[in-house]
Amino acid sequence: MSTAQATSNKATFRRLHDVVNTGDAELVSKTIDEVVEPDVLIRTPLGEATGAQALKGVWTMLLRAFPDLHLTVEDLIAEGDKVVGRTTVTGTHQGEYMGVPPTGKSVTYNEIFIFRFVNGRIAETWGVVDVFSQLKQLGVIPAQRSTPTELGPSPGRDELLRNDRSVPPGTQ
């Protein structure tokens, strides 16, 4: 793939992210129509879906839950027909999200997406999203971690800790 095509694909990645940052679901939908193949294959931690309509649904749901959603592209790498982006996501939970009623809490989490392009359009995506961090910040998952001794006895874990030289003596 040419350098010009890689640059164009990266610009498309950024364009989609910039449009999401407007918070305008209608503009996001229009942009998806322009830059995404109608039969795009989408893979995320929440499952697989096919079609631009499914992608529109994801962004509609996210913008309802986090109306001030903001994506900051931290790294963007193009290789062959793919673009990889590492993004920091921020937003305030003001609408239902994954069954969780609005909490008013702010979230900051990371995600990495790979977009595969065909003729300058997004044809396939793979995503890794820090859902654990999202749910922890929303209070769905307890924020505090327990130490091994607070968890109670566990023969297998205790044996591993005894043999783990990185665990300070007396904390096993």
Whether residue 164 is found in the same domain as residue 82:
no
We report the CATH number of the domain holding residue 28 as 3.10.450.50
Q: Do 160 and 104 reside in the same domain of the chain?
A: no
pLDDT band at 162 (very low <50, low <70, confident <90, very high): low
Residue 122 sits at φ, ψ, to 5 deg, of -75, 120
How far the first Cα of the chain sits from its last, in Å, is 54
Looking at the fold, whether 112 and 126 belong to one and the same domain comes out as yes
**pLDDT over 70 percentage in the chain:** 83
Does 52 share its domain with 67?
yes
Over residues 6-15, the pLDDT tens digits come to 999 999 999 9
Distance CA 36, CA 16 (A): 10
**Least-confidence region, from 46-55, 89-98, 138-147, 154-163:** 154-163
**Per-residue pLDDT tens over the stretch 67-87:** 999 999 999 999 999 999 999
* pLDDT tens digits for range 77-128: 999 999 999 999 999 999 999 999 999 999 999 999 999 999 999 999 999 9
Cα R_g (the chain), whole angstroms: 20
Q: How many CB atoms lie within 10 A of CB 47?
A: 8
**Distance between CA atoms of residues 27 and 25, nearest Å:** 5
Q: How many domains does the chain have?
A: 2
Whole-angstrom distance, CA of residue 138 vs CA of residue 161: 32
Residue 172 or residue 6, greater confidence: 6
Shared domain for 42 and 109, answered yes or no, is yes
Phi and psi based region of residue 136 (left: phi greater than 0; alpha: psi -120 to 50; beta: remaining): alpha
- Sheet containing 70-79: give its strands across: 47-50, 36-44, 121-129, 106-118, 82-92, 70-79
As a whole number of angstroms, the distance between CA 63 and CA 95 comes to 9
Band the pLDDT of 167: cuts 50, 70, 90.
very low
Query: The tokens of 77 are what?
Result: 């790498």
* Claim to verify: residue 111 and residue 128 sit in the same structural domain: yes
Query: What average pLDDT score do residues 129-147 get?
Result: 86
- CA quadruple 5, 124, 43, 55: dihedral, nearest 10: 100
- Domain of residue 68 covers 3-141
Phi, psi of 25 (to 5 degrees): -60, -35
Instruction: Return the H-helix or E-strand segment holding 25.
Output: helix 25-35
